[in-house]
């Protein structure tokens, strides 16, 4: 009969009206500046530089200024200048560090290629979206001080990925330590008896330092 569809429609809208006052099933609005929804872990937009400690971000940057990301970046928004001197990195090893590391956020296209090519897990994707600036030349040009964020922050925004990176780095560090120990042992072992084997350069003594050589 004519009009039944209209009444059904009115019932639907009435249900929505009443339902919007009860619970969040229908009423999903978040009052943005005051309330915030948790961003999904997979959300990413612009890169940041990972440092080990929040107290000394410039001293503990993972970045060694290898410039791979600079070369790979499709829109070429990364600019790096290598340092002339070396500084100990988080593992205490002497490394070059980036004297200048700029990312032009206005140019960045959030492709994540820099993150994928980085052999040191030094650059990761951030979740900042409130970076509007009144001046695009200075406001959107992020230098290394603005880009450096501690590893703890990385754990906050991408827990799974940070977990994976940390375990890999820990494994590498462990392997490096073992190698260093082995190298130290190898160096220490031949030293007390350098003279006797010298007369007869046998296979066992020559093989022992070999694996330690690249590590040293």
Partner 1 sequence: MSPAATTHESLLERGPVLLRDWLTGFLPEPARWVANCLLIIVAILAVFGLLFAFLTLAERKILGRIQNRPGPNRTGWFGLLQPFADGIKMLTKEDIVPRAASPVLHFLAPVVLLAASILTFAVIPYGRDLVPVELDAAVLYFFAAGAATELAVFTAGWASHNKYALLAAMRALAQLISYELPLLLSVVPVVLATGTLSTTGIVAAQSGWKWGFVPHWLVFTPWGAAAFAIFMVSALAESNRSPFDLPEAESELIAGHLTEYSGFKYALFFMAEYFAMCASSGLAVTLFLGGWHAPLPVLEFIPSYVWFAVKLLALLLGFIWIRATMPRLRIDQLMRLAWKFLVPLALVNLGTAAFWSITFQWEGPFQLVRWAVAAGLVVGPFYVLGRGLSAGLGPRTYRFA
Residues in contact with partner 1 by the rule CB under 8 A: 1-3, 6, 9-10, 12-14, 16-17, 19-21, 26-29, 31
- The nearest distance, CB 7 to partner 1, in angstroms, is 10
The whole-angstrom separation of Cα 150 and Cα 142 is: 16
Nearer to partner 1, 2 or 132 (CB): 2
- The nearest distance, CB 12 to partner 1, in angstroms, is 7
C-alpha Rg value of the chain to the nearest Å: 28
Other Cβ atoms within 10 Å of 186 Cβ, number: 21
The whole-angstrom separation of Cα 77 and Cα 69 is: 10
- The nearest distance, CB 38 to partner 1, in angstroms, is 21
Nearer to partner 1, 1 or 213 (CB): 1
Nearer to partner 1, 2 or 42 (CB): 2
- The nearest distance, CB 37 to partner 1, in angstroms, is 15
The whole-angstrom separation of Cα 48 and Cα 61 is: 11
Nearer to partner 1, 18 or 185 (CB): 18
The whole-angstrom separation of Cα 143 and Cα 58 is: 11
The whole-angstrom separation of Cα 139 and Cα 26 is: 39
Nearer to partner 1, 33 or 214 (CB): 33
DSSP bridge pairs for 61? 51
Would you state the structure tokens that stand for residue 91, as one six-digit string? 């593992």
- The nearest distance, CB 116 to partner 1, in angstroms, is 39
For the chain, where are the E strands, in sequence order?
A: 47-51, 78-88, 94-104, 123-125, 141-142, 148-150
């Amino acid at each position: 009969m004519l009009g039944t569809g209209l009444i059904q429609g009115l019932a639907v809208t009435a249900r929505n009206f009443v339902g919007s006052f009860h619970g969040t099933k229908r009423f999903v609005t978040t009052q943005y500046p005051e309330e915030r929804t948790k961003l999904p872990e997979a959300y990413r937009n612009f890169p940041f530089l990972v440092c080990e400690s929040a107290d000394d971000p410039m001293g503990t940057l993972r970045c060694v200024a290898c410039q791979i990301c600079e070369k790979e970046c499709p829109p070429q928004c990364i600019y790096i200048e290598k340092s002339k001197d070396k500084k100990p990195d988080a593992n205490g090893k002497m490394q070059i560090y980036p004297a200048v590391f700029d990312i032009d956020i206005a140019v960045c296209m959030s492709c994540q290629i820099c993150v994928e090519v980085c052999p040191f897990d030094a650059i990761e994707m951030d979740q900042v979206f409130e970076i509007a600036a009144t001046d695009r030349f200075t406001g959107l040009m992020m230098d290394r001080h603005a880009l450096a964020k501690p590893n703890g922050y990385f754990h906050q925004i991408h827990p799974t990925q940070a977990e994976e990176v940390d375990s890999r780095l820990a494994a590498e560090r462990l392997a490096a330590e073992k190698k260093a120990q082995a190298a130290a042992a190898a160096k220490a072992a031949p030293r007390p008896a350098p003279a006797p084997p010298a007369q007869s350069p046998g296979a066992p003594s020559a093989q022992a330092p070999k694996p330690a050589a690249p590590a040293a």
